[in-house]
Chain A
Amino acid sequence: MPAAQPAADAHGAQRWRRFTSGQRLARFAVHLAIVAAIVAAIRSVEVIPEFLVDAPEQMLDLFTRMWPPDWAHYPDTIHEALMETIHIASLGTLLALVLALPVGVLAANNLVPSTPVNLFAKLILVSSRSVNSLVWALLFVGIFGPGALAGTLAIAFRSIGFVGKLFGEALEEAQAGPIEALTAAGAPWTSRMTFGYWPQVEPAFWSIALFRWDINVRESAVLGLVGAGGIGMALDSAMNLFQWDRVAVILIAIFAVVVLAEIVVTQVRKRVI
């Protein structure tokens, strides 16, 4: 935040203002744009008011249909789908880590001091991140057919951008001292990487991996809605058949796995990293 600016008023006395007039204008413009966007959105969005009035009743209906959950259904199909979801998230994360390492290295300017290469790597990372995992899933379902393979690849391709970006930034923040020492000792490139850079970025790397795995567990639960395997497929078929008591079991199962994943991540981070 810039320092306060003194300004002389009409009588020549100093008046203190927190922002310059240019800054105030910019803030006003942003506020105006926000209000204008909200008003424009409210005026043009197509909402049917009757549906909103009806909503509490429909919600109540939904919950009475969901209760009691059909637990008997869990062992025969849902458990397997749930395990598949976890496999999709874990394998997808691992594949993304392997693929993102080289891209992250290419994106780090201190390791590869070539702007075109850096930009190319960053382009890969940005395009991976800009496409939602559901869209990646649609693409891979089109290519490999429905199933867990499409889901795994979707998770992996979506995660490359995230992991590569954060890993590249961690590499750029690595201290030059140890690397200069290694270079001075005549160490080859591989030794500089394994003994100079890797020990410095290793904690960041594992922390990014855990973080992404946690996100991927949540995301892999919905991939099945477009046919990419996992518990989303069970959810989709239960909903299409209006078996809301099964939907309730599936939702509880997803909730349990998400909470469990968060606990695992917090514990591992506390103990290992």
Chain B
Amino acid sequence: MSADAAGRDDPFRASRWARVAWIALAVYVVYASSRMEISWERVVTGLENASRFFARMFPPNFERWELLLKGLLESLEIAVLSSAFGILLALPVGLAAARNLMPAWATWPARFVIVACRSFHPVIVAILFVKAVGFGALAGILALTVASIGFIGKLFTEAIEEISDKQVEAVRATGAPFASVLAFGVLPQVFSRFIGFSTYQLDSNLRNSTMVGIVGAGGIGGTLFAAFQRFDYDFVCAILIAIISLIMVGEVMATGVRKVFLEGATLADLFSRSGRAVRVRPLEGD
């Protein structure tokens, strides 16, 4: 680092590597945007399309509310069932993958299952299940169950690997069998984090359950996609409003569950306006 005029180092001077990285980034942006086929003409027609598009979206059309409600309910069912199955199945898998409790012959297969479940987007998994079990909610439930196993399994494993050994050793020293070591030494230490990522996963499944319908796996997504393709933009707008409100209700309920289990809130606390605000630590994704 060179000295400035006053003979002191400039602490805010960018390092050589940082400058190289910035230049590389700029070159990449220019190169990648040149492949996007962006032209002035396209922007102008795009803006015209956009104004027509939004003009047709408003006012939202709730005439086919029965179809809308049916789709929303199916999405909700997919989210609830896939979260329930996913959490139940993720518990043993996550436990088997924890290196501090299990031998290598158990952790490697369990870790492989978790990586395999995590690597594909739920919509791609849904495509495969649509082929396997046909169109409908079942494919969506299975796809989101797989996604839940991957996500909760990974975080549950990490949580177990971070626990303190002292309590586990203390329970073991009393001659407790393995099941008791788990129930009294391990699970109490990870319970609060488990609640955190389970509610988070429910929230995430709710979001994705409104989307898997695009590939035919049930829920409101199919209705949305069909409305888009038929240019029923006012119905699209109604569906979007419904989806967003469903997701927001889901978020409020997830926060409520966290308050009850993690902060010991009573029902009165939940419904009082002055209730303590929960600052929830962001997990993966959002």
Interface residues, chain A, with chain B CB atoms under 8 Å away:
1-2, 19-20, 22-23, 25-27, 29-30, 37-38, 41-42, 44-48, 51-52, 54-55, 58-59, 62, 84, 87, 90-91, 94, 127, 129-132, 134-135, 138-139, 142-145, 147-149, 152, 161-162, 165-166, 194-195, 199, 215, 218-219, 221-222, 225-226, 235, 239, 251, 254-255, 258-259
Contacts and interface: CB of A to CB of B under 8 A. Distances in A.
Interface residues of B, number: 70
23 contacts: A1-B192, A2-B263, A26-B260, A27-B260, A30-B261, A44-B77, A45-B81, A45-B141, A47-B137, A58-B132, A87-B32, A87-B36, A94-B29, A138-B224, A142-B228, A147-B37, A152-B36, A162-B286, A199-B12, A221-B124, A222-B124, A239-B127, A255-B119
B132 A132 contact: no
B35 A84 contact: yes
Given A45-B78, A139-B53, 17 more contacts: A20-B266, A22-B267, A25-B267, A47-B136, A47-B138, A52-B138, A58-B131, A87-B35, A130-B243, A132-B208, A134-B211, A138-B224, A144-B49, A148-B36, A165-B282, A215-B285, A254-B120
A41 B74 CA distance: 9
Majority secondary structure, B binding face: helix
Nearest to B123: A222
Given A26-B265, A29-B267, A41-B76, A254 B124 contact: yes
B77 A45 contact: yes
Interface in B236-286: 240, 243-244, 247-248, 256-257, 260-270, 282, 285-286
A25 B214 CA distance: 41
Nearest to B266: A22
A110 B123 CA distance: 40
B20 interface: no
Contacts of B244: 127, 130-131
Given A58-B131, A130-B248, A166 B282 contact: yes
Contacts of A46: 74, 136-137
Classify the interface of chain A: helix, strand, loop or mixed.
helix
Contacts of B128: 62
